[in-house]
């Protein structure tokens, strides 16, 4: 990855790959979870804090079989099924994990079950040769395969299920007499007397990431699938390929999303919302019937009320807009409550930060804030109050009052005409002097 960040902590859809995996795994309610890590242990430990995960360290990189063996102490005393997954293969679903466990416990009693997939471009994946019942006859790494074996189209993802009572016994029996001199996890499948089976999934679920290029490819595959899901669930995407979701984006029915919209983590959009083009939403809630954008930015803590409007070049942060409230143009609403039906004029800002602390602005229901106003927090504008355009408001405005806080306008008759005549003559004189 050419990065100071651990590979498995690079994000897909706004969430580190390892946390994608743990989120899917959590649906199976595992008794124990062990993450085997080499370099970058501190980063991984920090990322999985609170996820009930034990860390096992692989101090030497001696292959996948050696890596799994490092989990021995963390699994001491555990009796049950074991899933072996990869932190850089983030998209495997909980349903596929269940299918591995179910196949392991079927009546023909395999000692291990491997997750396989088919693709026209298997590359350097190991090959699986199996009979019609999915019982594995041979599994071989690509580097050690013959040309005939490399022509097989069933590939080994490396993910598998086995039993705790079998796993470490089998690992103790494998060697490293291969082209790389490593202890291959798949070698437990081909030990004498070993009966193993294969379960197939699609290539999407087992896509691995070993470079920024592959990270982008996995992101693209995830986004493509999520767009299809959104449309199937009743969302209209005008230009689907230009819309980007986060892992936890929630969209209601009859939501319309125009081109070039980005959803960061933590967004909930209720029914009948319109999100116009080039808008960015993160950590925000948009209530039913609201309208966002174009070119709007909703930052964490934004809560846009029923049928409220956040228009072009408006930024909202840690603020609530009540039902039917409007901020249509070129405004910043931060650390504020805006009452139902209030109108925020173009160019209005809440001055919420003094360089040290943040302060709140309260705007009552039905209030009207004139264009190009600055509301210097902490300040309160009462219900139905009006703030005149161009005002800098530093004191509370009572309900129903008018506040005008701007310099007095002066008129100088004919001044502009005289100024233009003077400057035109000066310009002409300079030109004649050249």
Element (DSSP H or E) covering residue 192: none
Closest CA to 280 of 306, 313, 247: 313
The most distant pair of C-alpha atoms in the chain lies apart, rounded to whole Å, by 106
**How many C-alpha atoms does 149 have within 13 Å on its Cβ side?**
18
Whether 164 and 171 have beta carbons less than 8 Å apart is answered as no
Which entry of 10, 66, 247, 329 is annotated as an active-site residue?
329
Please state the length of the chain. 434
Please enumerate in sequence order all residues whose Cβ is within 8 A of that of 335, keeping only pairs 6 or more positions apart, or say none.
Answer: 317, 318, 319, 350, 352, 358, 359, 360, 361, 377
245-249, Cβ contacts within 8 angstroms, sequence gap of 24 or more: 245/13, 246/13, 246/14, 246/15, 246/282, 247/12, 247/13, 247/14, 247/15, 247/20, 247/23, 248/14, 248/15
**How many C-alpha atoms does 234 have within 13 Å on its Cβ side?**
11
Neighbours of 261 (CB within 10 A): 24
For 69, the token pair is 């063996």
**Separation CA 73–CA 55 (nearest Å):** 10
For 210, the token pair is 């070993």
Known active-site residue 329: yes
Point out the residues that are catalytic: 329
């Amino acid at each position: 990855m050419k990065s100071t960040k651990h590979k498995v902590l690079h994000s897909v859809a706004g969430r580190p790959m390892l946390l994608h995996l743990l989120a899917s795994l959590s649906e199976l309610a595992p008794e124990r979870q062990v993450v085997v890590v080499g370099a970058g242990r501190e980063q991984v430990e920090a990322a999985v804090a609170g996820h009930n995960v034990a860390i096992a360290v692989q101090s030497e990189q001696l292959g996948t079989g050696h890596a799994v063996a490092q989990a021995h102490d963390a699994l001491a005393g555990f009796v049950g099924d074991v899933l072996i997954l990869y932190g850089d293969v983030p998209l495997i679903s909980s349903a596929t994990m269940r299918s591995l466990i179910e196949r392991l416990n079927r009546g023909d009693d395999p000692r291990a079950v491997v997750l396989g997939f088919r693709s026209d471009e298997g590359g350097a994946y190991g090959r699986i040769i199996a009979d019609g019942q999915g019982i594995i006859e041979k599994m071989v790494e690509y580097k050690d395969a013959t040309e005939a074996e490399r022509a097989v189209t069933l590939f080994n993802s490396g993910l598998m299920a086995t039993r705790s009572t079998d796993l470490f016994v089998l690992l103790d029996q494998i060697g490293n007499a291969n082209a790389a001199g490593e202890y291959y996890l798949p070698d437990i499948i081909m030990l004498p007397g070993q009966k193993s089976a294969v379960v197939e999934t699609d290539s999407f679920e087992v896509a691995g990431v070993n470079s920024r290029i592959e990270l982008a490819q996995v992101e693209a595959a995830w986004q493509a699938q999520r767009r299809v899901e959104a449309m199937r669930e009743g969302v209209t995407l005008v230009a689907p390929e230009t819309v980007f979701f986060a892992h936890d984006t929630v969209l209601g029915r009859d939501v319309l999303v125009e081109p070039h919209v980005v959803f960061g983590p933590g967004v909930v959009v209720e029914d009948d919302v319109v999100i116009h083009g080039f808008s960015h939403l993160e950590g925000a809630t948009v209530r039913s019937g609201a309208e966002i954008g174009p070119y709007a930015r909703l930052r964490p803590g934004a809560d846009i009320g029923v049928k409220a409007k956040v228009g072009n070049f408006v930024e909202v942060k840690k603020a609530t807009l009540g039902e039917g409230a409007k901020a249509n143009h070129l405004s910043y609403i931060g650390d504020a409550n805006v009452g139902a039906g209030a109108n925020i004029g173009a160019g209005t800002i809440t001055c919420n930060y003094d360089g040290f602390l943040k302060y709140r602005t309260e705007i009552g229901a039905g209030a009207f804030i004139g264009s190009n106003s600055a509301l210097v927090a902490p300040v309160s504008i009462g219900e139905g109050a009006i703030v005149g355009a161009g005002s800098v408001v530093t004191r509370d405005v009572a309900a129903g009052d008018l506040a005008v806080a701007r310099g007095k306008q002066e008129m100088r008759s004919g001044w502009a005409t005289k100024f233009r005549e003077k400057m035109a003559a000066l310009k002409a004189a300079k030109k004649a002097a050249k």
